[in-house]
């Protein structure tokens, strides 16, 4: 399978998975928005919430990294700069969700 086809399939799958996770997060965020700190902490202390939020964060960064890499492919002409930009993008797409998941698990 061609690399561009794989990227396209991954974009569609991650985008489709992102929709229900975003709806779940928005609905729960509305519930805890005006609550006090203890309710916020209790929301993120629930193991199911931690799991769903972790999946949401990883999927969101995966989707955004794939989308932004397509912009790099289209608009950056020099291959060296394009490769560095893609590598930095993919590193940040791994490190930032990892740090977020670790910090959420300390709650």
CB atoms within 10 A of CB 14: 19
pLDDT at 105: 84
pLDDT at 16: 95
pLDDT at 98: 94
pLDDT (tens digit per residue) in 15-30 = 999 999 999 999 999 9
**Domains plus CATH for the chain?**
3-105 (1.20.1300.10)
25 and 54 Cβ atoms separated by less than 8 Å: no
78 and 22 Cβ atoms separated by less than 8 Å: no
pLDDT at 44: 87
pLDDT (tens digit per residue) in 54-95 = 999 999 999 999 999 989 988 999 999 999 999 999 999 999
Q: Please tell me the distance from the alpha carbon of residue 11 to that of residue 45, in angstroms, as a whole number.
A: 31
pLDDT at 7: 86
pLDDT of residue 53 exceeding 80, the answer is yes
Instruction: Give the global pTM.
Output: 0.84
pLDDT of residue 5 exceeding 90, the answer is no
């Amino acid at each position: 399978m061609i690399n561009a086809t794989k990227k396209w399939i991954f974009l569609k799958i991650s985008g489709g998975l992102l929709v229900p996770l975003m709806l779940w997060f928005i609905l729960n965020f509305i519930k805890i928005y005006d609550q006090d700190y203890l309710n916020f902490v209790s929301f993120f202390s629930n193991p199911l919430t931690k799991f769903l939020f972790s999946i949401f964060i990883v999927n969101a960064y995966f989707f955004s990294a794939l989308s932004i890499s397509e912009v790099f492919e289209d608009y950056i002409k020099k291959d060296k700069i394009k490769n560095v930009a893609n590598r930095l993008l993919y590193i940040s797409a791994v490190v930032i969700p990892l740090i977020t998941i670790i910090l959420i698990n300390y709650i």
